[in-house]
Amino acid sequence: MESVTLKDTAKETKKDTLIEIKNLKKYFEVERDLIQKLSSRTKRYVKAVDGVTFDIKRGEVFGLVGESGSGKTTTGRLIINIISPTEGSVLFDGVDLTKLSKRELKHFRRRMQVIFQDPYASLNPRMKIGKTLMQPLEIHKIGTPREREEKALELLGKVGLTPPEIIFTKYPHQLSGGQRQRVVIARALILNPDFVLADEPVAMADVSMRVLLLELMMDMKKEFNLTYLFITHDLATAKYVCDRVAIMYLGKIMELGPLRDVFQNPLHYYTKALLAAIPIPDPDHKRKVDIPKGEIPNPIDPPAGCRFHPRCPYKMDICEKVEPQLQMIEEGHYVACHMY
Amino acid sequence: MKAKNEIKNIDKKSQKKAIIKVRNLEVTFPIRQGNVIALDDINLDIYHGETIGIVGESGCGKSTLGFSLLNSIQSPGRITKGEIYFHDENILNKTKKEIQRIRGKQISMIFQDPMTSLNPLLRIDKHIIETIRKHEKNVSKKEALERAAYLLDKLGIVRNRLFDYPHQLSGGMRQRVMIGIGLALNAEVLIADEPTTSLDVIVEAQFINLLNQLKDDFGITLILITHNMGIVAEISDRIAVMYGGKIMEIGDSRLVFKDPLHPYTQGLLKSIPNIALDDNSLEPMPGFPPDLLNPPKGCRFAPRCKYATEKCFNEVPPVFEYRERLVSCFLYEKKK
């Protein structure tokens, strides 16, 4: 696989695209109590992801940013097909994953791996680190036991867990949080994937550990020619790793574009507010944008029209009725807002 | 019952009145493998009406310090040395009953996760009314309810939400209710332990604005315990930086951010992402935080410090006064 770093959207061809997401939707049914069932009230749904379309190019770090409840994690899970979508498709290297059988999917699973937020919950407490690392190889029947062990030791060294021979024989509880997250990264890489979904990979780490983990992820990206989907609520972290970002709100993408454009010239008021809300480690810093009132509304009955209109100071009549579509304003920079 | 000898401020130049004075505080957690010294020789003054940020990474002892101020360290941990003066009275000498009167009434505390701090079976009004009537016996239910409604109104929660259960409120609202309970008794000191960690950025920003406004409205002394340097920068007058159970540096918030003295503070500030800056360089801090079961013999930070000398590994640095700061590092031993 060739590694192409793409920032030039003009030369975009299908060949450069690793993952294509088209009109992806996921509705979760809301559980009804007995009375609601008897009164035969219609089923209600949480529209966790409601029509999301974007591409991830080979070799890029695509950031999916949003507050809790925005649907970013659900989108990630739909992409790697841990859950199946209500509607829409996910094309991985041109193949629609949503149409594959479990067996066919297994082949693709090898090519996409996950790093979750919580390194305490994502490692089996009863399994030694060595076994944890070799298991994916066993499942996919790769190599001899001896080769698997060598591969596991090699990766432990690469993610900075030294001496690998000692770490290999340890249990997760004997490692610190930062070390555990390194194990999780090593496990994600052992199958030589093309694509890694990193869902809040550093949210639980301490500040001084965070930088080291991010650096490790970027080093590994170079070494293994990886493409990342980086899911985070923290725009400051996104700034340091992402090439392009999409800002999500209530199951929809509000703005999408190259990181620099989105951060330095945000178009959507929500993006502006998100950026302004981040506390800056500088006592002389003053906020330039007012913080919107209220909180993210209930995704069961999202507001009609633009989902952000109840909190938007620039609301127009049209915003309450018509849902704005993502449209390109500048090269590769999209926004869903009636002001443009 | 004033103590005869008033305890002097640590910073001798400061004329301000310290409401809380912590002296030589040591907290130990005995575990199977030995004694973990969670706090080691902590000295700290908290001045009346100020907001002090206590910052550090997980395990540095910042929350333990917060709990010590209410003498409510969870067993098996206990205070093994030192004194804590509240209005010049040592709270560690007080009976359980006396302490309970201080808790909530004079010093109240809010926590990271508002869901676990509120009783899910009690309506919001009950929480506040109960708190008020527990401490002020002569207040009628109706009066207490009025006070609760007034407080929540100040915090931006409409009156009818008073009769909701905790699960019906959003995370931001629950955290505001927690503050409401804290303020219901007109506490002088509010200890907030990671109050915004479970909140989203926009709600967090709203909450910080609210805290800033409350400082002005109620003249409360706020102790903010957090790992988030951004929040500290926005709200604190002074900062105490903790590492491995010790205070490394104390000083005016602007000074600490603009001109950090302790190598740990310097490293910490370089490793946090700053969205306002144009450059993308972050400097990671090598190494790991100390194992408090076997802490380094000298300075706790020495194994990770690029300026460390032999002395740093063998002797615990005392506190030096330098550039209006108190700093625990040999680099400032001879500087004046």
Long-range Cβ pairs for the range A127-130 (8 Å, 24+): A127/A171, A127/A172, A128/A168, A128/A169, A128/A170, A128/A171, A129/A156, A129/A167, A129/A168, A129/A169, A129/A170, A129/A171, A129/A172, A129/A175, A129/A183, A130/A168, A130/A169
Backbone angles phi, psi at B166, to 5 degrees: -50, -40
B201/A280 Cβ within 8 A: no
B297, B288 Cβ separation under 8 angstroms = no
DSSP-derived 3-state class of residue B5? coil
Which residues in B lie closer than 8 A to residue A161 (C-beta atoms)?
Answer: none
- The DSSP output letter for A146 is H
Alpha helix segments (H runs only) across A110-176: 129-139, 145-158, 164-168
What ipTM describes this predicted complex? Answer: 0.79
* Record: contact A211-B58, CB cut-off 8 A: no
How many angstroms separate the CA atoms of B160 and A278, rounded?
Answer: 31
What's the CA angle centered on A104, arms A100 and A106, to 5 degrees? 115
What b-and-e string marks burial along A102-131, b requiring 16 or more CB atoms within 10 Å of the CB?
Answer: eeeeeebbeebbbbbbebeebbeeeebbbe
The closest CB to that of B204, out of A277, A281, A287, belongs to: A277
Note whether B58 contacts A178, CB cutoff 8 Å.
no
Q: Is residue A301 part of a domain?
A: yes
3-state secondary structure at position A247: strand
Give the mutation candidate from B275, B278, B288 for the A interface (greatest A CB count, under 10 A): B275
CA of A69 vs chain B CAs: smallest distance (Å) = 10
Q: Taking 50 as the threshold, does the pLDDT of residue B3 lie above it?
A: no
Pick the most confident of B5-19, B94-108, B190-204, B255-269.
Answer: B255-269
| pLDDT beyond 70 at B111 | yes
The burial of B3, by beta-carbon neighbours within 10 Å (0-12 exposed, 13-18 middle, 19 or more buried), is given as exposed
Instruction: Please report, as a single letter, which amino acid is at residue B255.
Output: L
CB atoms within 10 A of CB A17: 16
Answer whether residue A136 is part of any domain.
no
Tell me phi and psi for residue A113, to 5 degrees: -125, 165
Give bridge partners of residue B46 from the DSSP assignment: B20
The full DSSP string for B254-265 is HHHHHS--SHHH
Given a cut of 50, whether residue B219 has pLDDT beyond it is yes
B91 Cβ neighbours under 8 A, 6+ residues apart? B71, B84, B85, B99, B102
Residue B213's pLDDT band, with cuts at 50, 70 and 90, is confident
Q: What is this structure's pTM?
A: 0.85
Q: How many CB pairs under 8 A join A and B?
A: 113
A5 lies in some domain: no
Query: Is omega for the bond preceding B76 within 30 degrees of 0, making it cis?
Result: yes
A277-324 per-position pLDDT tens digit: 988 888 888 877 788 887 788 788 889 999 999 999 999 999 999 999
- How high does pLDDT run on average in chain B? 88
Residue A153: inside a domain? no
Task: Classify residue A185: in a domain, yes or no.
Answer: no
- Is B209's Cβ below 8 Å from some Cβ in A? yes
Cross-chain residue pair A279–B208, CB shorter than 8 Å: yes
* Beta carbons of A277 and B228 less than 8 Å apart: no
Would you call A279 and B285 a contact, using CB atoms and an 8 Å cutoff?
no
**CATH at residue A276:** 3.40.50.300
For residue A179, give the nearest of A204, A159, A199 by alpha carbon. Answer: A159
CB contact under 8 A, B274 and A236: yes
Task: Tell me the mean pLDDT in the region B298-307.
Answer: 93
CA-CA-CA-CA dihedral for B53, B59, B61, B63, to nearest 10: 60
B140 and chain A in contact, CB less than 8 A: no
Please report residues of A whose CB lies closer than 8 A to that of B201: 67, 233-235, 274, 277-278
Residue B333: Cβ-neighbour burial (10 angstroms; 0-12, 13-18, 19+): exposed
> Quick one: closest CA in B to A260, which residue?
B278
* 8 Å CB contact between A126 and A110: no
Displacement of CA A88 from its chain's centroid (Å): 18
Q: Which helix (H) or strand (E) holds A178?
A: helix A177-189
Number of domains chain A is built from: 1
Burial class (CB in 10 A: 0-12, 13-18, 19+), A245: buried
Does A280 contact B276 at a Cβ distance shorter than 8 Å? yes
Copy the structure tokens of residue B191.
């200890």
In a domain, A154, yes or no: no
Using the structure block, give the residue that is written with the tokens 């409604």. B149
Let me know: does A313 contact A269? Beta carbons within 8 Å: yes
How does pLDDT run across A224-277, given as a tens digit for each residue?
Answer: 999 999 999 988 889 989 999 999 999 999 999 999 999 999 999 999 999 999
Confidence band for A41, pLDDT divided at 50, 70 and 90: low
Query: Minimum mean pLDDT among A38-52, A77-91, A215-229, B64-78: which range?
Result: A38-52
- In chain A, the residue whose alpha carbon lies closest to the alpha carbon of B206 is A291
Is the bond into A163 cis (omega within 30 degrees of 0)? yes
Hey, of B201, B210, B254, which one would you mutate to test binding to chain A, going by the most A CBs within 10 A of its CB? B201
Cα nearest neighbour of B275 on chain A: A236
What radius of gyration do chain A's Cα atoms show?
21
Q: Enumerate domains of chain B plus CATH numbers.
A: 18-106+187-332 (3.40.50.300)
Average pLDDT over residues A47-60: 94
CA Rg, chain B, in Å? Answer: 21
Q: How far apart are CA A296 and CA A249, in angstroms?
A: 8
Contact B201 A67 (CB under 8 A): yes
- β-sheet with A45-57: strand ranges across: A45-57, A17-29, A87-92, A95-96
Convert the pLDDT of each residue in A102-121 to its tens digit.
Answer: 888 888 889 999 998 888 88
Asked if the Cβ–Cβ distance from A208 to B58 is below 8 Å, we say no
Find, among A252, A266, A250, A261, the residue nearest to A340 by Cα: A266
A176 to chain B: closest CA residue: B288
- With CA atoms as reference, the chain A residue closest to B236 would be A283
Q: Give the whole-angstrom CA distance, residue A250 versus residue A164.
A: 44
Q: Is residue A289 part of a domain?
A: yes
Q: Are A167 and A129 in contact (CB under 8 A)?
A: yes
* Residue-number span of the structural domain to which A279 is assigned: 14-111+229-335
Task: Give the relative orientation of helices B201-218 and B171-183 as an angle to the nearest 10 degrees.
Answer: 20
The whole-angstrom separation of Cα A204 and Cα A278 is 18
Q: Is the pLDDT of residue A49 over 80?
A: yes
